[in-house]
Amino acid sequence: MDIISFEELIRGTTETFERVTLVLRKKVGLGWITTWNTKCGIASYSSYLIQYLPAAYDLRILASNQDYLLSEDGPEVIRCWENSTVKNLDELEEAILSEGLEVVVLQFQFAFFRLRPLGKLLEKLHARGIKTIIFFHATKDVNKPGLKVSLSQIAQSLELADRLLVHSAADLHRLQILGLSHNAQLFPQGVHEVANPDVAHLRSRLGFRGRPIVGTYGFLLPHKGIIELIEAFPLIQAEHPRATLLLVNALHPKAPVKNLLRRCLARIESLGIQDRGLFINAYLDDDESLCLFGSADRVVYQYQQTSESSSAAIRLGLASHRPVAITPIDIFEDVKELCHVLPGISPGDIGLGINQLLKDPQLLDSRGEIRQNWLKTHSWRTLAGHLHAIIQDLARDNADNGEKSKPKVA
């Protein structure tokens, strides 16, 4: 064991002082740029990771000014940017600098930031030695009327980021095409750690005993395919007359979906299935949703085509320990081995695929073992541990560079 004498410390011997500095080092100043405390999948994603990070950080949540808050913000929250509405991120930059942050984690979605201001922010943070980690929740080009938005427009700025974290192999490949192989890596979406449910007990509590239950979950948005599932339900009923449709689809506070809700309700009525299911539009917490899905025979994600990189909603279905069915589209590429893939995205294909599964219990349960193994390795707790290791490596790199830049004591 090294013995550090008081005289040595007073003299400021360089090596000894550096050892003491490392031992007594303050918490890492960590900034987290995200939507927060609102009905948003990315806000939830952030909160799930943050809750399992160890107490090694002086954390600041750098949140959007435009969030519809679920409750009062905590003292760690600084609201300092606006979703895609301003031409600069000066207020966000000022918050990062004034708080003395050493590492910044940024949750990226095209709807959050204009690309040019984001690129400039990354360049400024790099010049100041502030480490940056970007989580990409989408990487595909977005085509707007008269405008194409592409990460290629800020590829040179993204080269300066320390880590670019993506959820799928397709996203990783897109970044590699842009010349970003050196700092890009896979970082999967997480899942809750939930005990295997007592299905019979849940069904009894919910009044679903003796019925085949088909459920779906997620915000009520056009690409979620809720209309398609509703239209598929008469096909399911034809073979399973007692079937129940469980639609848990909250209204998104920022999406104009009242017309879609009216269309869903009208279609339910026109098909005469209003007495054969539940349509829940309230924003439920995860425990409530898991209670509902723990009673289902099958949880279905009948998404239509979308530019999203991966689905956060499907993680809740997988966490329920119930069999999960998906449509054959790219957003489910990272979890398709755990799920049953439906023949297509049309109502006919959705109904056909669900019927095949409901009448074959052995097929229905065939993905159970691989799903259980996956749940263990993709828990939020496990992923937060991986992220902690990444942040600590970057913080140590900052500390080492800072020490190297100091003049030696004579």
Over residues 193-252, the pLDDT tens digits come to 877 777 777 777 777 766 888 999 989 999 999 999 999 999 999 999 989 999 999 887
Can you give the pLDDT at residue 13? Answer: 44
Please report which helix (H) or strand (E) contains residue 386, including its range: helix 380-404
Query: What is 271-301 written as a DSSP string?
Result: TT-TTSEEEE-S---HHHHHHHHTT-SEEEE
> Which residues are CB-neighbours of 356 under 8 A, at least 6 positions away?
363
Q: Residue 243 has which token pair? A: 């079937």
Q: Give pLDDT, residue 265.
A: 94
Tokens (6 digits) for 215:
């459920």
Cα-based angle 268, 269, 275 (whole degrees, multiple of 5): 80
pLDDT for position 289: 85
The per-residue pLDDT for 237 is 94
CATH superfamily of 6-190+379-404: Glycogen Phosphorylase B; (3.40.50.2000)
Question: Which residues, 6 or more positions from 193, have their beta carbon under 8 angstroms from its beta carbon?
Answer: 319, 375, 379, 380, 381
Tell me how far the alpha carbon of residue 59 is from its chain's centroid.
Answer: 19
Which is nearest to 192 in space by CA: 327, 330, 109, 314?
314
Read off the DSSP letter of residue 89.
Answer: -
What's the rounded Cα separation, in Å, for the pair 376 and 251?
A: 31
Phi and psi dihedrals of 33, rounded to 5? -90, 115
Tell me the three state secondary structure of residue 229: helix
Residue numbers of the chain with a pLDDT score lower than 50: 1-24, 404-410
Q: 208: helix, coil or strand?
A: coil
Identity of the amino acid at 195: A
- The predicted-structure confidence for 88-128, as pLDDT tens digits, reads as follows 899 999 999 999 999 999 999 998 999 999 999 999 999 99
The pLDDT score that the predictor gives to residue 9 is 38
- CA dist 308 and 303 (Å) reads 11
Say what the pLDDT of residue 400 is: 65
Domain boundaries, the chain: 6-190+379-404, 199-375
pLDDT of residue 372: 86
pLDDT of amino acid 38 = 92
349's tokens: 């294909």
Cα 87 to Cα 363: distance, rounded to the nearest angstrom: 53
In 3D space, the residue among 408, 331, 336 whose CA is nearest the CA of residue 15 turns out to be 408
Q: Which helix (H) or strand (E) holds 68?
A: none
> Is 151 in a helix, a strand, or coil?
helix
**What is the predicted pLDDT for the residue at 20?**
41
CB 140 within 8 A of CB 309: yes
Examine domains 6-190+379-404 and 199-375 and report if their fold is the same.
yes
Assign domain 199-375 to its CATH superfamily.
Glycogen Phosphorylase B; (3.40.50.2000)
DSSP 84-117: TTSS--HHHHHHHHHTT-SEEEEEE-TTT--HHH
